[in-house]
Amino acid sequence: MSETERITVVEGPTPTFEPNTEPWVLGMSEGPAIPFTGRCLLRTLDGNALLQRCREAWGKGRAACLEFTNMAGLPEEALILAARVSEVEAGEVLHLWLRLNSWPEELGDTDDPFDFESDDEDSTGL
């Protein structure tokens, strides 16, 4: 059994997740239901080392997960679908696209963004 590579948020606040708006991320997901996918940005001291750990795991057919503490203070993890490092004025930032277990609380009671039927009102009232 291959072991999952884990990237752990050691200190700082709970990551802020934004809903996925990029169709290619959904193309990486399997199954009959559309998963909860999102993106987060994390400041890091050595983003290239974290990115390399993900690449090595993926190259060996292993999963990579982000471990963090949620808003309730409980440990949680999310599958990393893709990662990228960029440089900003304050240092390095790790961009992570993730498959989440559920919508994060900070997104509120967000309905399924792919439930187009609830957005369309029947103008006939039937």
pLDDT in tens, 28-54: 766 667 678 889 999 988 999 999 999
Architecture of domain 5-117: Beta Barrel (2.40)
For the segment 60-109, what is each residue's pLDDT rounded down to a tens digit?
A: 999 999 999 888 888 999 999 999 999 988 889 999 999 887 766 554 54
Measured distance CA(81)–CA(86) in Å, rounded = 17
pLDDT of residue 71: 84
Output the pTM of the full model: 0.75
Q: Hey, where are the domains in the chain?
A: 5-117
Residue 8 main-chain phi, psi, to 5 deg: -110, 135
**Model confidence at 7, in pLDDT bands (50, 70, 90)?**
confident
